[in-house]
Structure 1
Amino acid sequence: MVAIRKSNEEGHRRKFLVVVDETPECDRAIVYAAKRAARTGGIVTLLYVVVPGDFQHWLGVEDIMRAEAMEKADQTLAKASDRARSVARTEPECVVREGKTSEAIVDLIETDADIAILVLAAGLSSEGPGPLVSSIAGKAAGNFPIPVTIVPGNLDDDSIAALA
């Protein structure tokens, strides 16, 4: 069951969810979400998903790898937050989840009723728009709990600002 969105109720603000990774197109999604949030009085929620490693059989290695992954998540989110602030003077909220990316996205949407829109950016490679865009815009699109905005990866900041 999908949680009812509360972003239009009094005391709630619409949240634009961006999945942060280290792809070049991720910046396009951050810029769009920040501009849109600033224009509509919303909030940018930046999600970084740590994919767990399979190192349970090595004593201590799993803890070290998890700590390194969390440190990388914090650094990546700090950089993404700086970018959101610089383009729209908006203060994003940051969330780190562990698990499969698609499951972490849906779980966060279901637990935070203010998240109203998922913002993704399409990659420019010849292999397609990227695995996340392909999975969400593909077979899962009909069952996704909220609208998805897909920003073309080739748009510059001015073009994004005009659309947001």
Structure 2
Amino acid sequence: MGTRKFLVLLDDSRECLNAMRFAAMRAANTGGAVVILSVIPAEDIQHGFGVADVMRAEAQERIEAHFEVFAKWMRAKPKVEPELVIREGDPAEELISQISDDPQIGVVVLGLNSDKSAANPVLTRLMREAGTLACPITIVPGEMSKERLEAIT
């Protein structure tokens, strides 16, 4: 089967940080790998006269810079070399596609905001599909301390 991969969704949320930490520490402790998925929302790309290409390139640059921040930490501390996957479309849709495209993905790791009113469309969608997904979902509370994370991974 090869290396088991932990799939994490990269977005601008604060809880994304804890999901990254958890995935990296679990991967380091189990000899696994980390795949970081970032999705460019289709509506962020306006089509026409090459504008789409420019916007896509800008979005990819932003994502790569954001990814580097996490990657640097992962290489240094848990000693994991993460893989970046950039897709375009609906984040939940693309996450599900990524799981079916990569049979080595063993666990999806999602951060969860402590704000109960905040909707999490990706999680909502995954929960609907959870029974048919090819791997389990781990939900990491955004408020969990780094020490607590280290203790449980």
TM-score, normalised relative to structure 1: 0.85
Percent identity over the alignment? 35
Task: Provide the residue aligned with 1:61 in structure 2.
Answer: 51
Task: Provide the residue aligned with 1:141 in structure 2.
Answer: 130
CA distance in 2, matches of 1:129, 1:87: 32
Q: Paired residue for 2:32, among 42, 45, 49?
A: 42
Q: 1:30 to 1:129 in 2, by over 3 A?
A: farther
Contact kept? 2:45, 2:56, Cα under 8 Å: no
Structure 1 range deviating more: 76-85 or 153-162: 76-85
Task: Provide the residue aligned with 2:147 in structure 1.
Answer: 158
CA distance in 2, matches of 1:82, 1:127: 33
CA distance in 2, matches of 1:82, 1:143: 34
Task: Provide the residue aligned with 2:8 in structure 1.
Answer: 18
The answer on 1:51 being equivalent to 2:41 is yes
Gaps of 5+ in 2: none
CA distance in 1, matches of 2:45, 2:150: 42
CA distance in 2, matches of 1:129, 1:80: 25
In the alignment, residue 157 of structure 1 is paired with which amino acid?
Answer: K
Gaps of 5+ in 1: 1-5, 7-11
Q: For residue 140 of structure 1, give the secondary structure of its aligned residue in structure 2.
A: helix
Contact kept? 1:44, 1:92, Cα under 8 Å: yes
Greater helix proportion? 2
Task: Provide the residue aligned with 2:121 in structure 1.
Answer: 131
TM-score, normalised relative to structure 2: 0.90
CA distance in 1, matches of 2:67, 2:109: 16
Q: CA-to-partner distance for each residue in 1:58-90, whole Å, 9 max, x for gaps?
A: 423222211111111111111121232344121
In the alignment, residue 84 of structure 2 is paired with which amino acid?
Answer: C
CA distance in 1, matches of 2:85, 2:63: 9
In the alignment, residue 147 of structure 2 is paired with which amino acid?
Answer: D
Aligned length: 152
The answer on 1:98 being equivalent to 2:88 is yes
| RMSD (Å), alpha carbons | 1.6
In the alignment, residue 84 of structure 1 is paired with which amino acid?
Answer: M
